[in-house]
């Protein structure tokens, strides 16, 4: 053991849910529990608290489960963290607020995504929206820097996948969508079946979805819907795909699968 910090106690709901993020000499994670809501940075060398930011949460339910994201805007790094009722951009060195956007959601799970000069965030329960935020502002930019929002079949649990100017996503109830990432216009929406907790991944012009029923569905990463393949593991799975080189890792209820094309000589 190099270090351990056992001082960060809070009252969680279903556990923390999000993942920690390492950037430089700091480890960031969001703590959005039943009574407390904050974002914290620890030293990767010692585990000591570098800074702690207390969220101003307006939602009745404070709990959320989102993983933060570090982005770079005009040469300056920002930590994007989505919580109940609010999205924060924080200074990675000090934890001070760069900007914030208010929303009506809670129990936020999806991770923010950055591209095309915009931050894309889902707003959680009860009725999720997808917001496209210009991250160049200061202070409360709710009314000035949300460039578009969408509310049809937005996932509560899976994160979205960004491919250039297209967003691919899957709702918890199995509706796949492709949106124009610059305007929010819907290119297509298609029921593919199943229920979804896992986030999609993209590779080689394909989008890979994985249902809770253990069915992998592959569609073309294009602005017209095209299903390429369906692969059934016939075993419950909630975890997103893992990737090692050219291999997919799939964790089901009782197994860990590694799937790859061995004809290429890789193992």
- Per residue in 34-66, pLDDT (tens digit) is 999 999 999 999 999 999 999 989 888 999 999
pTM score: 0.94
Give the tens place of pLDDT for each residue, 216-246. 999 999 999 999 999 999 899 999 999 999 8
210/199 Cα distance (integer angstroms)? 8
What pLDDT, on the 0 to 100 scale, is given for residue 267?
A: 44
Taking only the tens place, the pLDDT of each residue in 119-134 is 999 999 999 999 999 9
Report d(CA 43, CA 250) in Å as an integer: 32
Q: Give CA–CA dist 91/70, Å, rounded.
A: 10
Contact 86, 102 (CB under 8 A): yes
Q: What is the mean pLDDT of the chain?
A: 95
The residue-averaged pLDDT of 186-197 equals: 97
Residue 153 has pLDDT above 60, yes or no: yes
For residues 133 and 119, the answer to whether their CB atoms sit within 8 Å is: yes
Question: Computed over its alpha carbons, how large is the radius of gyration of the chain?
Answer: 19
Task: Report pLDDT for 27.
Answer: 98
Q: Each residue of 95-104: pLDDT tens digit? A: 999 999 999 9
């Amino acid at each position: 053991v190099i270090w351990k910090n056992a001082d960060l106690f809070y009252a969680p709901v279903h556990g923390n849910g999000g993942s920690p993020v390492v950037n430089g000499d700091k480890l960031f994670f969001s703590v959005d529990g039943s009574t407390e809501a904050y974002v914290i940075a620890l030293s990767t060398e010692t585990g000591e608290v570098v800074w702690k930011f207390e969220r101003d949460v307006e939602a009745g339910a404070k709990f959320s489960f989102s993983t933060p994201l570090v982005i770079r805007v005009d040469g300056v790094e920002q930590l994007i963290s989505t919580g109940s009722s609010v999205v924060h951009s924080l200074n990675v060195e000090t934890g001070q607020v760069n900007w914030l956007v208010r929303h009506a959601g809670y129990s936020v799970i999806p991770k923010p995504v950055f591209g095309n000069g915009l931050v894309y965030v889902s707003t959680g329960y009860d009725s999720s929206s997808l917001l496209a935020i210009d991250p160049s502002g200061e202070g409360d930019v709710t009314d000035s820097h949300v460039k578009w929002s969408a509310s049809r079949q937005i996932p509560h649990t899976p994160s979205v996948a960004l491919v250039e100017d297209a967003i691919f996503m899957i709702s918890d109830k199995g509706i796949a969508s492709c949106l124009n990432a610059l305007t929010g216009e819907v290119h297509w929406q298609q029921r593919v079946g199943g229920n979804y907790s896992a986030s999609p991944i993209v590779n080689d012009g394909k989008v890979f979805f994985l249902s809770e029923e253990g069915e992998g569905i592959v569609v073309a990463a294009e602005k017209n819907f095209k299903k390429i393949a369906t692969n059934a593991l016939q075993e419950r799975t909630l975890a997103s795909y893992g990737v090692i080189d050219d291999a997919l890792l799939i964790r089901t209820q009782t197994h860990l699968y590694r799937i790859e094309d061995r004809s290429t000589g890789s193992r």
